[in-house]
Amino acid sequence: MTDHPQIAVSTVIFALRETDDQALPALWMPLVRRIRAPFEGLWALPGGPLGIDESLSEAARHNLKATTGLAPRYLEQLYAFGDPARSGDQRLVSIVYWALVGNDEASRSEADDNVRWFPADALPALAFDHQLIVDYALWRLRNKVEYAQIAHRLLGETFTLAQLRSVYEAILQRPLDPANFRRQMAAAKSLAATGEMQSGARHRPPRLYRYVEVPGTTPNPWA
Amino acid sequence: MTDHPQIAVSTVIFALRETDDQALPALWMPLVRRIRAPFEGLWALPGGPLGIDESLSEAARHNLKATTGLAPRYLEQLYAFGDPARSGDQRLVSIVYWALVGNDEASRSEADDNVRWFPADALPALAFDHQLIVDYALWRLRNKVEYAQIAHRLLGETFTLAQLRSVYEAILQRPLDPANFRRQMAAAKSLAATGEMQSGARHRPPRLYRYVEVPGTTPNPWA
DNA sequence: GCAAAAGTGTTGCGACTACACCCATGA
DNA sequence: TCATGGGTGTAGTCGCAACACTTTTGC
């Protein structure tokens, strides 16, 4: 045990996956298997040490790429965890980020013996205090999706309103009224119709939308 | 320069002070003068290293007591700042907390040559990136006061509705309708009348209230 | 035509704002 | 009695939830 605390940067990653039996997607996340003590063999959040020339968010991105191959479409600092008892016999302070990755990116993600995807609400036993961290990240995601425009970052570049609504429903775990959802999105003025339709289904073809930044809408100018 | 990042815990402290010319209180904060490089002589947020057996919040409390003698009535983690360029030639990651201290506590605070109070909106030049941190803390305080019951922590144990309203007005920097403010507080059900009045002023004596915890109202179960 | 999802209209409720108004005290 | 802030009443507005209804496609 060293006499000064070590710093690590870890990330809770969310992506949407179609469930086989249902048409509704659900939240999944990639975990990595620990290959050394403490908690050897258990699943854990991807992370690693803080490089001497990296900012905290750069370290999060860099570790994400190295361990899971993913590049997030949204990244935000979650919390710093530093309880003395959280990391066995060495003192470890973890700066934890949370991230959203798009549809395409998540499905491209290679399967690996030491990296596996799990449903966010049914994880295996996790190393350290990582289950607590995941619970907090889920709480933050559910809060933030209600007032910030982040849900589209779990989809691709263009999407239908029904797809976007299914993202909200997967995160909030309750059905939303399609009519009211449409009006809420219209009021936010952050969606632009591409002019294209998505055909093929056996019903009226829906419009495709793209996310557009609304000028005065930066919820947190810092961070 | 060492090859691993150092960890420090700092705190942005808010208290209310009466302004001499006006009856309206305003937000003030204590700063400490740096007595060594880098930024020697400049004012900075109180803080210090993370003790090997302390949790992060314990370190914040402990450093606060040691540098300013204050014990906060509210303490919450703000953000972790770790940009490589923020701390001169050594790498320093600061876990920053923000705190509210009560009326009584703030006025008891001893004057010191190396500790001084400043109005939160007119600070001197600060060391490191501390002005950025203060701006973020102010933004968080103004947001949080609108949906969380924290304003009373800037007062004492009991207070009148007018005093509580003046806290909101000082933080939000705009006048609030007394009638509507009263109803909002009543709707939140987090105030209990003590039965006592505050007399002495040349108008109808106001009731004194005490803050009471509302069962299902924990905004952030973690953190 | 029929099923299914896209998209529109309408109504009622609850929260908030603005402001008129009464109450109780000290001087 | 009057000035001052404590405290109550009330009407208008806005946003949202609920749900009926019309439109457009594939089969």
Q: At what angle do helices A130-147 and A161-172 cross, to 10 degrees?
A: 140
Residue type, B3: D
Pick the CATH number of B153-211 from 1.10.10.10, 3.40.50.620, 3.30.1370.160, 3.30.420.40: 1.10.10.10
Residue type, A120: A
Q: Which nucleotides of C are covered by protein (CB under 7 A)?
A: 3-10, 16-20, 23-27
Q: Is the CB of A169 under 7 A from strand C?
A: no
- Domain limits, chain A: 6-147, 157-211
B6-147, which class in CATH? alpha beta
Question: Which residue of chain A has the CA closest to B83?
Answer: A55
A interface toward B at CB cutoff 8 Å?
3-7, 50, 52-56, 77, 79-84, 91, 93, 95, 132, 135-136, 139, 220-223
Cα dihedral A207, A210, A215, A220 sign:
positive
The answer to whether B20 and A69 have CB atoms below 8 angstroms apart is: no
Q: Is B1 a residue whose pLDDT tops 60?
A: no
Which of B34-43, B67-76, B94-103, B198-207 has the least mean pLDDT?
Answer: B198-207
The average pLDDT across B93-118 equals 90
| Nearest CB to B80; choose among A4, A95, A220 | A95
Cα separations (Å) of A76 from A11, A129, A141, A190, B181? 9, 19, 10, 20, 34
Question: Which residue of chain B has the CA closest to A94?
Answer: B80
pLDDT confidence tier of residue B89, bands split at 50, 70 and 90: confident
CATH of domain A157-211: 1.10.10.10
Give per-residue pLDDT as tens, B36-68.
Answer: 989 999 999 999 999 999 999 999 999 999 999
| Nearest CB to B77; choose among A55, A80, A222 | A80
Q: Is the CB of A120 under 7 A from strand C?
A: no
Q: Is the peptide bond before A38 cis (omega within 30 degrees of 0)?
A: yes
pLDDT at site A87: 87
The answer to whether A143 and A168 have CB atoms below 8 angstroms apart is: no
Residues 6+ apart with CB under 8 A from A198: A160, A205, A206, A207, A208
How buried is A14 (Cβ within 10 angstroms: 0-12 exposed, 13-18 middle, 19+ buried)? buried
| Nearest CB to B222; choose among A3, A56, A132 | A132
Q: Measured in angstroms, what separates residue A179's CA from nucleotide C11's C1'?
A: 15
Q: Which nucleotides of D are covered by protein (CB under 7 A)?
A: 3-10, 16-20, 23-27
| CA A142/CA A139 separation, integer angstroms | 5
Instruction: Give chain A's residues under pLDDT 50.
Output: none
Q: Measured in angstroms, what separates residue A79's CA from nucleotide D5's C1'?
A: 44
What percent of chain B clears pLDDT 90, i.e. is strictly above it?
78
Residues 6+ apart with CB under 8 A from A137: A12, A14, A78, A96, A98
Give per-residue pLDDT as tens, B156-203.
Answer: 999 999 999 999 999 999 999 999 999 999 999 999 999 888 878 888
| CA A189/CA A184 separation, integer angstroms | 9
Q: Residue written as tokens 């009560």? A: B102
Q: Measured in angstroms, what separates residue B208's CA from nucleotide C3's C1'?
A: 65
Q: Structure tokens of A78? A: 């979650």
pLDDT at site A221: 62
How buried is B217 (Cβ within 10 angstroms: 0-12 exposed, 13-18 middle, 19+ buried)? exposed
Q: Measured in angstroms, what separates residue A160's CA from nucleotide D19's C1'?
A: 23
**Of A210, A208, A13, A18, nearest in space to A107 by CA:** A18
With CB atoms and an 8 Å threshold, state whether A79 touches B223: yes
Q: What share of chain A is helix, strand, coil (3-state, %, to 5)?
A: 30, 30, 40
**Of B119, B134, B154, B153, nearest in space to B12 by CA:** B134
pLDDT at site A93: 97
Q: Structure tokens of A187? A: 């009021």
| Nearest CB to B91; choose among A52, A77, A93 | A52
Q: What are phi and psi of A121, to 5 degrees?
A: -100, 10
Tell me which residues have their CB below 7 A from strand D.
Answer: A 177, 179-180, 184, 187, 199-205; B 160-162, 178-180, 182, 201-207
* Residues of chain A contacting B87 with CB distance shorter than 8 Å: none
β-strands B158-159, B207-211 pairing = antiparallel
Q: Is the CB of B142 under 7 A from strand C?
A: no
- Mapping DSSP to helix (H, G, I), strand (E, B) and coil, where does residue A178 land? helix
Cα separations (Å) of A201 from A18, A166, A173, B77? 17, 17, 25, 49
- Selected for mutation to probe chain B from A6, A75, A89, A95 (highest B CB count within 10 Å) is A95
With CB atoms and an 8 Å threshold, state whether B82 touches A56: yes
Three-state secondary structure readout of A105-173: HHHHCCCECCEEEEECCCCCCECCCHHHHHHHHHHHHHHHHHHCCCHHHHCCCEECHHHHHHHHHHHHC
